[in-house]
C-alpha cells in the first residue's frame, strides 16, 4: 500500500500538529488554534472566512479547469478535552486539565495538508471548501456552524469527514452506509427527597440514595425489555452524587445522577427516553419524592449517504488496496456532531486506522497521542475524496 499518494511536507505538518497538541483549547475557546490555522492559510495565500460558529473557519480553493458549480466540503474538528495528560511525550499538553485526547490536532493537520496540496495542484473543476470546526466534544460546534449559515454562505453540495481510530490498525479504514455513529443524549436526574438521621429515623426520611439505587437498577432494564434486540441502544448512568462519605449516618436531601442515551435510529432513541421518563415518574409517585429529568440532545445519528459512501469505498480501494477496507464493518455507539452537517448535505464519515505498537491507547485516554504516521494517509484520503466528489458531480 502506498501511504503518500499526494505530496506533503510531513516534517512541517508533524511540527504543526505537535504545536497544537502542546496548547490544547476546549470547545469554542480555540482562539489560538484558530489563529495558527489562519496564519497557515495566509502563508499559502488561501482565502478563508473565520468566526463561523464562533471560532470556526472555512477556507476554499477554486480549480483551474472550467466547471459548472460542483463543490465539496472537507471537515476537521479542532477542540481538545478537559482531561489531564499522562502520555509522557515531549510535546505533551502544557495546560493543566486540558489535552488533545481524541486526535483533533491530527485531523486539523491533515486538513491543512489537503489545503496545501490543492494550493499547488488546482487541476480540477469546481470548488473545494475546507471546514475547521470548533467544539465537537459534546458542545455543539457542528450545529453552531450550520446555524451560522455554513451551507447558505458556502454552496457545498457534499461533505466528508474522517476520524483516527486506534481500534483499527494503521492502513485499515472503517466505512458503512447508513448509521456509522450513534445519536448522543445527555441525561441529568435530580432526586429531591427528605434527609435525616440514618440510624435514628430513617423511616421518617424520603431517602434519595435508596431511590437512586432503584432507579439505576431499573433503568438498565429498559434496553433489554423495551427495545428490539436487533436495534442497538445504550443507556448508561455514569455518575452519582449524593451525601458525604464522612456523614455515614446522614441521609441527604438530594442526589444527582448523570448519564447518556445512545441509539442508531430515532425510533429507538425515543423509546429509551420515554422509558426513562416513565420510570422517573413512577418512582416519584411511589416514594413521594421529586424527580427532575433532563434529556439534552447532544448530537443526532451520523448517517452516511449511500452514494457518497460507495464513492468513498472506491477511493479507498483504488488508493490503498482492496484489503484496506474492513469487511462487515460495524457502526460505533460513540457520537459525532458531524451528524449536523450530514443531516443537511449528503456525504460520508470514515474511520482511519491509527493503532500500532507505539500507539496502543484508545480515544479519550490520558495516555493517548495521535499517530503522526497516518498524516499522509489522511491527506491523501481527503484529497482523493474531494476530487472523486467533484468528478461525480460533473458525470
* 25 and 170 assigned to the same domain: yes
Residue 1 lies in a domain: no
* 49 and 196 assigned to the same domain: no
Q: Is 104 annotated as a binding residue?
A: yes
Residue where a domain stops, chosen among 274, 299, 324: 299
* 15 and 125 assigned to the same domain: yes
Residue 216 lies in a domain: yes
* 127 and 144 assigned to the same domain: yes
Q: Where are the alpha helices (DSSP H) in the chain?
A: 10-22, 31-43, 104-120, 141-147, 150-153, 208-219, 222-226, 266-287, 306-320, 339-342, 375-394
Residue 207 lies in a domain: yes
* 47 and 159 assigned to the same domain: yes
Give the integer Cα–Cα distance in Å for 103 and 87: 13
For position 66, what pLDDT does the model report? Answer: 85
Domain that holds residue 272: 182-299
Residue 5 lies in a domain: no
Q: Is 31 annotated as a binding residue?
A: no
Q: For residue 1, name the pLDDT band (cuts at 50, 70, 90).
A: very low
* 253 and 155 assigned to the same domain: no
pLDDT digits (tens, 9 = 90+) for 307-331: 999 999 999 999 999 999 999 999 9
* 167 and 186 assigned to the same domain: no
Residue where a domain stops, chosen among 250, 268, 299: 299
Q: How many domains does the chain have?
A: 2
For position 5, what pLDDT does the model report? Answer: 61
* 227 and 264 assigned to the same domain: yes
Contact 376, 4 (CB under 8 A): yes
Give the integer Cα–Cα distance in Å for 371 and 126: 32
Give the integer Cα–Cα distance in Å for 280 and 282: 6
Provide the CATH number for the domain around residue 258. Answer: 3.30.70.360
What's the mean pLDDT in 117-140? Answer: 96
Which of 214, 224, 226 is closest to 286 using CA atoms? 214
Residue where a domain stops, chosen among 279, 299, 319: 299
The C-alpha cell that represents 366 in the structure block? 490520558
* 242 and 315 assigned to the same domain: no
Q: Is 137 annotated as a binding residue?
A: yes
Q: For residue 297, name the pLDDT band (cuts at 50, 70, 90).
A: very high
Total-model pTM: 0.94
Which of 204, 194, 192 is closest to 255 using CA atoms? 192
Residue 18 lies in a domain: yes
> Residues of the chain with pLDDT > 90: what percent?
97
* 359 and 290 assigned to the same domain: no
pLDDT digits (tens, 9 = 90+) for 330-364: 999 999 999 999 999 999 999 999 999 999 999 99
Residue 143 lies in a domain: yes
Side-chain half-sphere exposure of 211, counting CA atoms within 13 A: 34
Residue 2 lies in a domain: no
pLDDT digits (tens, 9 = 90+) for 193-242: 999 999 999 999 999 999 999 999 999 999 999 999 999 999 999 999 99
* CA angle (377, 380, 386) in 5-degree steps: 135
* 53 and 69 assigned to the same domain: yes
What's the mean pLDDT in 278-296? Answer: 98
pLDDT digits (tens, 9 = 90+) for 107-121: 999 999 999 999 999
* 127 and 224 assigned to the same domain: no
For position 394, what pLDDT does the model report? Answer: 86
Provide the CATH number for the domain around residue 119. Answer: 3.40.630.10
pLDDT at residue 3 tops 70? no
Amino acid at each position: 500500500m502506498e501511504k503518500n499518494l499526494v505530496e506533503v511536507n510531513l516534517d512541517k505538518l508533524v511540527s504543526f500538529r505537535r504545536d497544537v497538541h502542546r496548547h490544547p483549547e476546549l470547545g469554542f475557546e480555540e482562539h489560538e488554534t484558530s489563529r495558527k490555522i489562519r496564519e497557515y492559510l495566509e502563508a499559502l495565500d488561501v482565502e478563508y472566512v473565520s468566526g463561523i460558529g464562533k471560532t470556526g473557519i472555512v477556507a476554499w480553493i477554486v480549480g483551474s479547469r472550467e466547471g459548472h458549480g460542483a463543490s465539496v466540503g472537507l471537515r476537521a474538528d479542532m477542540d481538545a478535552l478537559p482531561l489531564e495528560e499522562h502520555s509522557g511525550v515531549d510535546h505533551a499538553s502544557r495546560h493543566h486539565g486540558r489535552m488533545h485526547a481524541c486526535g483533533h490536532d491530527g485531523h486539523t493537520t491533515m486538513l491543512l495538508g489537503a489545503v496545501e496540496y490543492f494550493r499547488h495542484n488546482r487541476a480540477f473543476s469546481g470548488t473545494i471548501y475546507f471546514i475547521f470546526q470548533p467544539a465537537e466534544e459534546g458542545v455543539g460546534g457542528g450545529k453552531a456552524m450550520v446555524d451560522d449559515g455554513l451551507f447558505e454562505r458556502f454552496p457545498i453540495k457534499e461533505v466528508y469527514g474522517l476520524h483516527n481510530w486506534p481500534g483499527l490498525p494503521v492502513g485499515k479504514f472503517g466505512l458503512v452506509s447508513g448509521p456509522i455513529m450513534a445519536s448522543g443524549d445527555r441525561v441529568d436526574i435530580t432526586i429531591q427527597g427528605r434527609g435525616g438521621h440514618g440510624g435514628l429515623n430513617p423511616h421518617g426520611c424520603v431517602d434519595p440514595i435508596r431511590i437512586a439505587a432503584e432507579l439505576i437498577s431499573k433503568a438498565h432494564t429498559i434496553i433489554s425489555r423495551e427495545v428490539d434486540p436487533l436495534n442497538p441502544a445504550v443507556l448508561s448512568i455514569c455518575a452519582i452524587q449524593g451525601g458525604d462519605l464522612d456523614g455515614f449516618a446522614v441521609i441527604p436531601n438530594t442526589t444527582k445522577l448523570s448519564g447518556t442515551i445512545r441509539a442508531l435510529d430515532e425510533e429507538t432513541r425515543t423509546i429509551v427516553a420515554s422509558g426513562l421518563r416513565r420510570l422517573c415518574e413512577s418512582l416519584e409517585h411511589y416514594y413521594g419524592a421529586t424527580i427532575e429529568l433532563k434529556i439534552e440532545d447532544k448530537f443526532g445519528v451520523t448517517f452516511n449517504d449511500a452514494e457518497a459512501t460507495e464513492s468513498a469505498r472506491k477511493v479507498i480501494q483504488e488508493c490503498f488496496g482492496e484489503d484496506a477496507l474492513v469487511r462487515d464493518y460495524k457502526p460505533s455507539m460513540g457520537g459525532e456532531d458531524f451528524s449536523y452537517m450530514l443531516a443537511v448535505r449528503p456525504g460520508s464519515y470514515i474511520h482511519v486506522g491509527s493503532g500500532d505498537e507505539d500507539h496502543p491507547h484508545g480515544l479519550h485516554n490520558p495516555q493517548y497521542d495521535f499517530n503522526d504516521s497516518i498524516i499522509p494517509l489522511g491527506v491523501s484520503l481527503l484529497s482523493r475524496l474531494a476530487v472523486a466528489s467533484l468528478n461525480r458531480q460533473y458525470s
